[in-house]
Each structure stands twice: as structure tokens, then as C-alpha cells.
Chain A
């Protein structure tokens, strides 16, 4: 779905490697889901095993604040 809205986009950078597959992570399509809501995002993803990396700043920042909003819906 090329036209689908993306709520957040994060470059994979050069330094992130999937420990299991031994390949560099690339910017890939992912989705956050919580309480029947889904947010398409672009995050560093392993092209082989599909491991999605959520950095600490994102988890404790945007993700946490969106969780709080949804919990009070």
C-alpha cells in the first residue's frame, strides 16, 4: 500500500545489524497495535527474520504518550 499514511519514520542507519541473521537492518514497514488501534510506521527491520527494532527514545517518548491517550479513550 504505497499511499498508506505513515505515522512515524526512522532511518535504519549504518550501524544496526540483526544479531541472528548477520545482516544490516533496513528501513521497513511496521505497525504498532494497541487497544484495537493500528499505526503504520517505518522502523529499522531485519530483511530476513523481520525483527523490528524500537529504540528507547521512541518507546519511552511517542509510544508511551500515545498509549496513555488511547487508554483514556
Chain B
């Protein structure tokens, strides 16, 4: 056993930053899921328009009102006087008329009550404020500061409440009348009929900690951000970008922030929240949005009309990656958040690595990079995180050990490399791939015979694994070792052109070998063999994720399927948008549940269709899911493989294929080591072993160890024996009944812990 499989503690002080700060931010910035919808971003007052419309469409007008009250002390004035920058950027406007947001706001005001409760009890502050003036700006500013619990006195020339409201907004009396309860509730001391002149101001100024609002006090230019003059007093801004009412509320809100900063003796320029309209890069896919007719506002919307109009809101959000990825949906995280959590996970020295399962459950298939409008590459992040954790010794060996040992099996006991009999040199080598060897050995056998017969130049054979398993596991050193091994072996064969039977092998080997073509390319060149099956029905093609960006391969497979007589029905999730079957990235070893969901995802468009695959792992996983799936080579050679061989059967198949080929083509007999005993396994035990990832070879080795040592526990109650044997990092236990040289296996289980007496 090599050092790669030495189990060690994952608590290690080694630390390696996964990405630089800039790199992390650059990656995260590609995901716009958390960007605000355009309507929210366009509102200078930061109204959560999307939430408001969602509330109204649910009939919750009270929630709609509370969202509006959050941004303005007099929301109804705003609803009537806002020029609605939100509406101008509504994405529905690209299909038809945009959602009439201000009309819905007016309806909210009409159909909801002013809340009686005063909200959370806040302590009254000490600093006293005087606000002078009779404009909407001064009234809103006074109300905003009063809401922050500053004792505020508003001095106005207006004679009474209605007069004040009329001076503030040019709206019908009926509407203004409805504002009076809010004015009374605003906790303001209002001094009416005050003649505000310079003398009065100078006289009153000393009674307050801060005065603001009156034009008479203005000493210099107003700062465009803080709305302060050089004497730290606030005024409305000269530049008017929005309608007078919206501008006044916006200015008042910004001025209130400045006033609070001044009172706290902080530079009003510093630590301000993001103000005004912002930019959003949110992507909204309008493809799936049905057309819905706008509701005409005749007077104010009735409740029903408002609900209907609010339902027209698309509720903009970017969910492009979620649509096709079972992995992201299972972890309920969009790439931005997932990346940050995975990044943090790699930095943990002591403590639980909560995201290990997440970063090991990505199939590394690259679908998100295609579906994301900005090309987010979650696969690269998960792969980098795995490599990082392996490098810093924080990745437990247990996660991928079974798959890695399977790879080593393929490149040892299951490995074979030979030149074509009778050929000194071979121009080609056929590399079927470990999954094809394990799942469809007879098809591989027949394919090689055909290639030897019909492909000129000599075709060597190499049965093995392309090493992608080590790459997926993040074990770079092991990967390099295996690639070096393959290079040496290829050199021994005379560095032939590789004919890959598997698209994953092809893309992996292409990184290290000059010329790697696909079996499909060769079949197109030499034509289909006699005896191929004929398709009579419509089929769907499940494209291999490793051929996602390989249009030539996708097209070649379609042409072959057509030549076989099949009509290809293209699905939404085919070609570059294809999903992984659940084998990629070793998900099926780490997270079976998600791997199953991935398989289901592949056939969700039509679960009853026949799916032609060109990756044997896809064929196996889809078939396991109960889908009618067939590998194109099974059709081409008319040889159907077993339904779904188990883990042990796959290994047996590889070994038997090797022995059969050695015997028939190279006339080499292999000495098969048969156990000196017989055994029987029920289907139930077999399934248990499959679920627990225990191989039959482990079972046999354990029985053999028992035969050698006689170490076992005898249970007098059920007359069974239980023995234990440690192989590598795993202790295997077998419960059985013994009859001379025959063993009836009752159960098999294992654990990784060691146990001893103390």
C-alpha cells in the first residue's frame, strides 16, 4: 500500500489560502442572484418594491403599507406624487406594459388602515432640534428626526394642519385630509403662524442643539451628498432629479442621516448607507414569463384589481443555475453564497468542516458555467477546494478511498496493454475506459475485435482507468503518478493514437497525449459493422457532461443514431446544457441521495423515453434509475450488457474481460486463484454489501483469514460465527455458518475505527 492511503488525522495546522481576496470577489461577483431587482435598485428611497408587490398579490395590504411607511412618513403623498422610476425599469416592460406600481401603492393606501401601534419603544434622545419652514422637505425631515426620537419643533408660517399640508403637496384636500392622523401621530411639536425671519431665527437658535431647514440660514453651497452647508445645517438640494414630492422625501431622508451624524459628532460624509438609486446586474430570464394584460386604473384600484395587477410582477430573480442542477437545489444555495461557505470551510483549522459534504457532492460537470449568464464555474471552485483540503491534509481519506482503490484496481489487476497480435507497430490503441470494461465487457470485447479487423494500421489495446478519479478526488500527486504510468505504458506501445471509448477518458487523456479520438469518430470513418441493431423509434440522447463543449462528438453520436434508424428528439437539457448522471465528480460514492437526484434530473423531460448515451457510466446510472437507457456501442454491436452490475461484479467483469482477451488473442493463460472453499450469499446480503460498499473480495479475504487463524466469536443462541479481518484502513466483519469448507454468509459489515483491548 502506498503512502496515499495512510490514514491520518484531518486536524492539521497546514494552511493554504484557497483564493486571494480579489479572486474570491471576482468569482462571487459573477453570481447576480443576490442583486436587487431593477425596481428596488431604481428607487432612491429604497422601497422593497418586489416584496411589496408580492404582499399585495397575496392580499396582504397591511404588509404593503408597512413597507411603504418604512421609507416615508407620509406614504400616501408619495404614492400620489412619485414619478415612479421603478416602473421605468420594470422587466415586464420588455414584453408588454410594465406593472403599474404607483397605482398599486395608491390602492394599498386606500385599502389598508393606519396602524394604531406605535412600534418599538425607543428612548427619547436629549438633543433638541428646530426645523423651520413649510415645505414637504422640512415636514418630512422633522417627521424623520422625530421618528428617530429626537425632540423636534417645527416652526411654520402655516396657520393650521390643513394649511401646512396644502403648502407641502399640491394634492386634493381629500387626500391631504387623510394625512392629518399621521401628522398628529408623528410626535412633533408644531408652532403654527410663526413669522420666520432672521431676527426670530437668531433669537430661537440658542434654545436648540441644532437648527435646520430655513433658506434664511443658508450660508454657502449645499454639499450634494450630505445636503449640509458649511455651517453643518441641512437644506434641500438644488438639483432636482425626480418629481418634487419624491425629491423632497429623498432629500429629507439624506438630510436626516447627516443631522444624526452631526449630532453624534461624526463627519456627515462618513459611514453613510448606500443612498439613491443603485446599479443592478440581476439576470431575469423572460423566456418563461407568460403575457398578462395590464389592469387599467380607473380611479383607485379595487382590492381585486390591485391584487391582479400585483400578480403581473415577475418577481425578478436569477435562478438559471438552479433550473438544471440537482446539487445546487439540494444544498439550497446559489453559487455566490456556496462559494463563500466553501472558501471559509477550507480555512478552518480546528472545528467542524460543515461544507465538506457540499464541496464533495458537486459532479464537477460544468453545467452551471453554461446556464449562468455570467459563466459561473462552480466545478472549478469545488475541485480547487478538494485539492486545497487534500494538500493541507484536511480531506479525510474515507471520502474517496473506495473510488481511488477502484482506480488502482483498474490499473493493476484489471489492467492490460498489448499490441494487436501479429503487429510489430500499432498506429492506434483502443482505450475503452474502466466503466465500459466493468459494465459492458462483452461489448468492449466485440468492439475491439471489430477495430482489429477493420481499422488499418494495427490497433493495440489498453484496459485501464484514465485516472480522472484521482483528479476528481483532488489527489493531484496520485493523479500525476497514474498519468506518468499511462505515459510509460503508451510509450511501450509506440505512442499510438488513442481511440477512447469514453468521452471522459477522451477529455482527460487529451490533456496529456497528443492525439486522442473517440470510438464514434472511428465508426463514422469505417462505417457501422454488420449485425448492428436497428432503431425504429424516437430516442433522446443523453449527452455526456465531459463532452459538454464538444459539439463535434455530440453531432457524431446523433449521426450514428440516425444511421441506426433512430429519430432523435432533442430536449431542453441536451448538448452543452446536459446534466451529469451522478457519476461525475465521484458524487455517487459520497452522496448517493444527490447522485440519484442527478440521474432523475437527466430524464425529467421524458422519463419514459429511450435514452441513448455515449458514456457507459451514464448508461449504468440511468438504467439503475429505471430508465430505458442504452449505450450507443451496445446498439452498434448488437450486444446488450447486464442491467446494472454491482461494485463487485464490475471488478469481476474487468478481470474476466482481461483474461478472456489474453487467452483468445494473445494465447496467454492466466492462473485464476480460486478460493479453497465455497460460499453462498443471499440477495439480501448482496444488497447490504452493495450499500455498505463492501466487495466480495473483502469478504473472501476475511473468511480466508478466519480459516488461517480461527479467530471468531461463536454465538450459542443462533449458532453463528462472527469473524473480523482488517484490510487497509477498514475492519471487515462477517457473520456466517460453517459446514466443512462451505460458508453460508449471513451478514457483512465494516468500520474504519480500529479496536483493541486496553
Contacts and interface: CB of A to CB of B under 8 A. Distances in A.
Interface of A: 14-20, 25, 28-37, 40, 43-46, 49-54, 56, 59-60, 63-64, 66-67, 69-73
Contacts of A70: 10
B755 interface: yes
23 contacts: A15-B715, A16-B713, A16-B715, A20-B710, A28-B757, A29-B757, A30-B758, A33-B754, A34-B754, A35-B8, A45-B757, A46-B713, A51-B711, A52-B756, A56-B733, A59-B733, A59-B749, A59-B751, A60-B692, A64-B751, A67-B751, A72-B353, A72-B357
Nearest to B351: A73
Contacts, number: 117
A54 B710 CA distance: 17
Contacts of B721: 19
Contact of A30 (B354, B724, B756): B756
Contacts of B713: 16-19, 25, 44, 46, 51, 53
Given A17-B716, A52-B756, A59 B7 contact: no
Given A71-B399, A72-B352, A63 B712 contact: no
A72 B712 CA distance: 33
A31 to B, nearest CB: 5
Contacts of A73: 9-11, 350-353
A63 to B, nearest CB: 5
B398 interface: yes
A34 B752 contact: yes
Contacts of B7: 35
A63 B733 CA distance: 14
A26 B10 CA distance: 35
Contacts of B2: none
A46 to B, nearest CB: 8
B757 A54 contact: no
B757 A72 contact: no
Nearest to A56: B749
B351 A31 contact: no
Contacts of A71: 10, 356, 396, 398-399
B216 interface: no
B710 A19 contact: yes
Nearest to A25: B713
A67 B710 contact: no
A18 B733 CA distance: 15
Contacts of B722: 53
B714 interface: yes
B222 to A, nearest CB: 58
A24 B355 CA distance: 46
Given A19-B710, A52-B757, A63 B747 contact: no
B194 interface: no
A2 B754 CA distance: 22
Nearest to A57: B749
User: In the complex, which range does the number of interface residues on chain B fall in?
Assistant: 35 or more
Contacts of A43: 755
Interface string B734-758: 0100000000000101111111111
Contacts of B396: 35, 71-72
The 10 A-B residue pairs with the shortest CB-CB distance, nearest first, are A71-B396, A36-B9, A19-B712, A34-B753, A15-B717, A15-B716, A17-B714, A35-B9, A31-B758, A20-B710
B287 interface: no
A56 B735 contact: yes
B709 interface: yes
Interface of B: 7-11, 350-354, 356-357, 396, 398-399, 692, 709-717, 721-722, 724, 731, 733, 735, 747, 749-758
B453 to A, nearest CB: 50
A54 B751 contact: yes
A25 B735 CA distance: 17
A58 B11 CA distance: 25
A64 B693 CA distance: 13
B709 A32 contact: no
A19 B10 contact: no
A30 B755 contact: yes
B758 A20 contact: no
A44 B722 CA distance: 13
B403 to A, nearest CB: 15
Given A44-B713, A51-B712, 4 more contacts: A53-B713, A67-B751, A72-B396, A73-B351
B565 to A, nearest CB: 50
A67 B733 contact: no
A44 B353 CA distance: 34
A28 B350 CA distance: 33
A35 B10 contact: yes
Contacts of A19: 710-714, 721
A54 B733 contact: yes
- Residue of B7, B717, B751 with most partner-chain A CB within 10 A: B751
Contacts of A37: 9
Contacts of A69: 352
- Residue of A29, A35, A67 with most partner-chain B CB within 10 A: A35
Contacts of A16: 713-716
- Residue of B9, B749, B755 with most partner-chain A CB within 10 A: B755
B595 to A, nearest CB: 18
Contacts of B715: 15-17
A14 B399 CA distance: 38
A50 B757 CA distance: 6
B753 A30 contact: no
Nearest to A4: B758
A69 B758 CA distance: 24
Contacts of B711: 19-20, 49, 51
Contacts of B10: 35, 70-73
